[in-house]
Amino acid sequence: MRSRARHAVLAVTGAALAGAPLTLTALPAHASPAASSALTSSAAGTITVRRGGPARSLPFTARRDGEAVISFTASAPGVSWARAGAESAVVSISVDGRHVTDLVVPSSDPIPRSLGLGHVGKGRHRVTLRFAKGSAPAARRVTLRRAAVRTSDALALRHAPVVVGRTGWPFGDPYQNAATDTPLIAWHETRAAATPGHRVIEYSVVWSNEDGGTDTPALMARWGRTTDIEWVYRVEVDASGNRVDGTAVYQAPMHLTLKFSGRYEGDHPVLQTCTQNNNMCDVVSPEPPLRFLLDASGTRPDGRAREVVMDREPWTYRVAAQEMVREGKIENPSDPATREVGDQRTYLFAEFAKATGAAAGTGSVPGVALGVRLKSDTSTLYRSDHDEPTWSIDRDGAVATTVELPEGTRVSDIASIEAIRRPTGSGDNGAPATVTSVNRGFFLDEAYLPQPSSIAWTGSVTLTQANPSAVIWRP
């Protein structure tokens, strides 16, 4: 959904910012969200929250009722998601004395972040930031730069879920999301409901990984990343934006869709990550210390894979790769001939679009994998599925995958990219698979950040039992 909401930037002032006072001029009511973001990022000032130090405060004035969002770049010197004992620093964020969200800072490099603060009324308010328990021993302070608050009447913010951290209650670590499977970003998607004028809003979250569920090699082959991406909450709203009773559902353990019967904070449902593969429960453990209200105002472009939301937040790739290193899930040395996951900087990250035709018989459905040949040796085909049938991709639409290549490979070394039809199990139902585009292809740089995509193709190639592969890209 492209939000029609008007945005207003909130005035932010105060000597507590340890520098010159911040003042943000009110944005005209007709200004677009993009204009709001531009003005917000122009603010100057730094907030530093220290271990054992006092809480810092950030006063703001809401010019009308609405959902508040705080944005900044966050860094924590000495912190690295790749190192045990230095994983992250945690900041607890409250509004007017009420704990609304936590911030997990996984890097000493500045990362742009945006978090929801919940509903606020017109008038003056105060954000309080505290260095929190759960921070790694190496974490000493967190620096927030260009901090700013805005309000919005966007429905996507109004109904966004509060995701309580995984605690493993009653015997687990209540702070585990400060070191593993941490929620990174969120977004929403909308569609028309059966009732005219009503809409359905669905919310999804990207976690840094999943400790349970799909194993790492299959994640790279079938999903093109080691993060975990799950839809978490879905609700129908009427023409006035109000929740329609009985329509709220969530993704429960075993990927079941269940009616939400938990509590709300305003219109925000409160859910808890309660499984090792980041499914939700609507019953929350007692006094959980971590909670996340991520800014879900963004949405996914039509016709693109879910992974595009990570492309817009490049730092998510680095966090995902670092978690694999720290948890010992990376093969050393990397070898594209094995099925184990190697250094993620050796992979081509690709997105393509496909559609499956009607079955001609019985048997398993066909999936599609990508294959890469290099100029140095065109006889060797490096496959995204590593020739494992269940790792080819049978879902349709835009999909993401990765192809492991020898260390040091660049796009300029690639001779061709092929689409390969492969049944996903026993037998073959004979359905054709048509590939219509390659939307992007890139490698990660030395810092595990995506390089600009330099691979793209559109066309139509139909793969059949008789002709199961075809070249779809050459330099």
The model's pLDDT over 141-198, given as tens digits with 9 standing for 90+, comes to 999 999 999 999 999 999 999 999 999 999 999 999 999 999 999 999 999 999 999 9
Contacts of 457 (CB under 8 A, 6+ apart): 437, 438, 472, 473
The model's pLDDT over 286-302, given as tens digits with 9 standing for 90+, comes to 999 999 999 999 999 99
Of all residues in the chain, the percent with pLDDT exceeding 70 is 91
Task: Please give the full DSSP string across 102-133, using - where no structure is assigned.
Answer: EEEE-BSS-EEEEEEEEEE-SEEEEEEEEE-T
Residue 93 confidence (pLDDT): 98
Which tokens sit at 182?
Answer: 């941490």
Checking if the pLDDT of 53 tops 80, the result is yes
* Torsion angle, alpha carbons of 333, 335, 338, 339, to 10: 80
Residue 333 confidence (pLDDT): 95
The model's pLDDT over 70-81, given as tens digits with 9 standing for 90+, comes to 999 999 999 999
Checking if the pLDDT of 392 tops 80, the result is yes
Per-residue pLDDT, averaged over 329-354, amounts to 97
Residue 45 confidence (pLDDT): 77
Checking if the pLDDT of 464 tops 70, the result is yes
Residue 30 confidence (pLDDT): 27
Residue 8 confidence (pLDDT): 35
Secondary structure element (H or E) that encloses residue 173, with its range: none
Query: Is the Cβ–Cβ distance between 92 and 99 less than 8 Å?
Result: yes
Strand partners, 256: 252
Query: Is the Cβ–Cβ distance between 327 and 411 less than 8 Å?
Result: no
Residue 448 confidence (pLDDT): 98
Query: Is the Cβ–Cβ distance between 432 and 357 less than 8 Å?
Result: yes
Checking if the pLDDT of 23 tops 90, the result is no
Checking if the pLDDT of 20 tops 60, the result is no
> Would strands 56-62 and 457-463 be described as parallel, antiparallel, or unpaired?
unpaired
Checking if the pLDDT of 201 tops 80, the result is yes
Query: Where does residue 216 rank: exposed (0-12), middle (13-18), buried (19+ CB within 10 A)?
Result: middle
Look-up of token digits 């499914």? 279
Checking if the pLDDT of 463 tops 60, the result is yes
Q: Which of 180, 179, 232, 181 is nearest to 205 (CA)?
A: 232
Secondary structure element (H or E) that encloses residue 222, with its range: helix 216-223
Strand partners, 231: 204
Checking if the pLDDT of 372 tops 80, the result is yes
Per-residue pLDDT, averaged over 426-452, amounts to 97
Checking if the pLDDT of 114 tops 70, the result is yes
Look-up of token digits 């075993």? 254
Query: Is the Cβ–Cβ distance between 217 and 340 less than 8 Å?
Result: yes
Per-residue pLDDT, averaged over 303-325, amounts to 98
Helix (H, G, I), strand (E, B) or coil at 226: coil
Angstrom distance (rounded) from CA 331 to CA 344:
10
Query: Where does residue 150 rank: exposed (0-12), middle (13-18), buried (19+ CB within 10 A)?
Result: buried
Question: What's the Cα-to-Cα distance from 230 to each of 107, 120, 185, 281, 393, rounded to whole Å?
Answer: 24, 28, 11, 14, 18
Query: Is the Cβ–Cβ distance between 355 and 396 less than 8 Å?
Result: yes
> Which stretch of 6-20, 37-51, 108-122, 261-275 has the lowest confidence by average pLDDT?
6-20
Looking at every residue in the chain, the average pLDDT score rounds to: 91
Q: Which of 319, 59, 70, 328 is nearest to 179 (CA)?
A: 319
Q: Which of 15, 4, 71 is nearest to 39 (CA)?
A: 71
| Angle (CA) 94 9 62, round 5° | 55
Per-residue pLDDT, averaged over 398-404, amounts to 98
